[in-house]
Amino acid sequence: MPTLADVVQELESAYDPRWAESWDAVGLVCGDPSSEVRRVLFAVDPVAAVADEALEWGADLVVTHHPLYLRGTTTVAATTFKGRLVHTLIRNDVGLFTAHTNADVADPGVSDALARAVGLTGPLTPLQPSPDDPRRGLGRIGTLPAPLTLHAFARQAARGLPGTAGGLRVAGDLDREVRRVAVSGGSGDSLLGTARAAGVDVFLTADLRHHPASEFMEAPGGPALIDAAHWATEWPWLAEAARRLTSGLAEKGITVETRVSETVTDAWNTKAECEDLK
């Protein structure tokens, strides 16, 4: 029977913790390295609904993209939702492991899975390569198999990503031709200038703020923008991470069962629209 230590070693070989940003918190959050692991649940967020799913399925480990404690803490008391989550996991012998910015820059990583989900084919290159290895880095640039209008590409991207209340927001001429596309899973407005310099036709990411996006669109000659839900842009990576874990362990003669959580943990669960006033 594989141990938690075996699984952690395989995950960290795919998503080296040394690749994480200095401010990040990745790796094993809770769990006994000597405990047995038969089932691993992959999810974007370490929240109560995911913990409930893990217990219902009988998972021994939850692997999330987002850290539970990003800025540190002085308590895991069950008086907070994070403390309650830790208590729930430990009480039921379920470990928690995080791969965050080290998965963002991996090759393949979060943005590779996003690129494939929205229809990019062929080779992918980092939008912002890592200084120590140009094969890794933030975001990805790729091409569509045939040109589409921005409107058609946005519809294709919406079909390829999991549904959320907010859907996709689009900025740009809906009739413009799109062939070369940049994507970045998660918050991407720090890469707006990089996307412009890359000469792509559209940049798809999440969490674009009003002022940076507005000023970006005022300058002529840049790409169109598509803003998706943060959770939706990172969810496609879960299946790839699960596949890498099972295949890597299989090469060592180790078998685990994996599952990708389909629980929508996007913070927004509905939207309201005003009726037209006649």
Say yes or no to pLDDT of 48 above 90. yes
What CATH number is given to the structural domain containing 165?
A: 3.40.1390.30
Q: Is residue 77 part of a domain?
A: yes
Q: How confident is the model at residue 22 (pLDDT cuts 50, 70, 90)?
A: very high
Q: How many CB atoms lie within 10 A of CB 263?
A: 14
Are residues 183 and 113 part of one domain?
yes
Are residues 127 and 92 part of one domain?
no
Are residues 122 and 31 part of one domain?
no
Say yes or no to pLDDT of 276 above 90. no
How high is the mean pLDDT of the chain? 96
Are residues 114 and 85 part of one domain?
no
Q: Is residue 272 part of a domain?
A: no
- The stretch 267-275 carries a mean pLDDT of 82
Task: Mark out the alpha helices in the chain (DSSP H runs).
Answer: 4-14, 48-57, 81-91, 101-104, 110-117, 150-160, 192-198, 210-218, 230-234, 237-250
- The stretch 258-270 carries a mean pLDDT of 95
Are residues 249 and 147 part of one domain?
no
Say yes or no to pLDDT of 117 above 80. yes
- 230 assigned binding-site residue: yes
- 100 assigned binding-site residue: no
Distance, in Å, from the CA atom of 277 to the CA atom of 169, rounded to the nearest integer, reads 24
Distance, in Å, from the CA atom of 44 to the CA atom of 103, rounded to the nearest integer, reads 12
- 66 assigned binding-site residue: yes
The pLDDT of residue 118 is 98
In tens, the pLDDT along 157-207 reads 999 999 999 999 999 999 999 999 999 999 999 999 999 999 999 999 999
Give the three-state DSSP class for 2.
coil
Q: Is residue 277 part of a domain?
A: no
Are residues 98 and 13 part of one domain?
yes
In tens, the pLDDT along 67-114 reads 999 988 899 999 999 999 999 999 999 999 999 999 999 999 999 999
| Domain carrying residue 149 | 106-228
Q: How confident is the model at residue 271 (pLDDT cuts 50, 70, 90)?
A: confident
- 151 assigned binding-site residue: no
Q: Among the listed ranges 30-34, 124-128, 222-226, 267-271, which one has the minimum average pLDDT value?
A: 267-271
The pLDDT of residue 275 is 60
The pLDDT of residue 274 is 66
How many domains does the chain contain in total? 2
- The stretch 216-224 carries a mean pLDDT of 96
Q: Please give the model's pTM, rounded to 2 decimal places.
A: 0.96
How large a percentage of the chain has pLDDT more than 90? 95
Q: Is residue 211 part of a domain?
A: yes
Q: Is residue 273 part of a domain?
A: no
Are residues 150 and 172 part of one domain?
yes
Q: Is residue 278 part of a domain?
A: no
The pLDDT of residue 277 is 44
In this structure, the dihedral spanned by the alpha carbons of residues 137, 233, 167 and 150, taken in order and rounded to 10 degrees, is 40
- 210 assigned binding-site residue: no
Q: Is residue 12 part of a domain?
A: yes
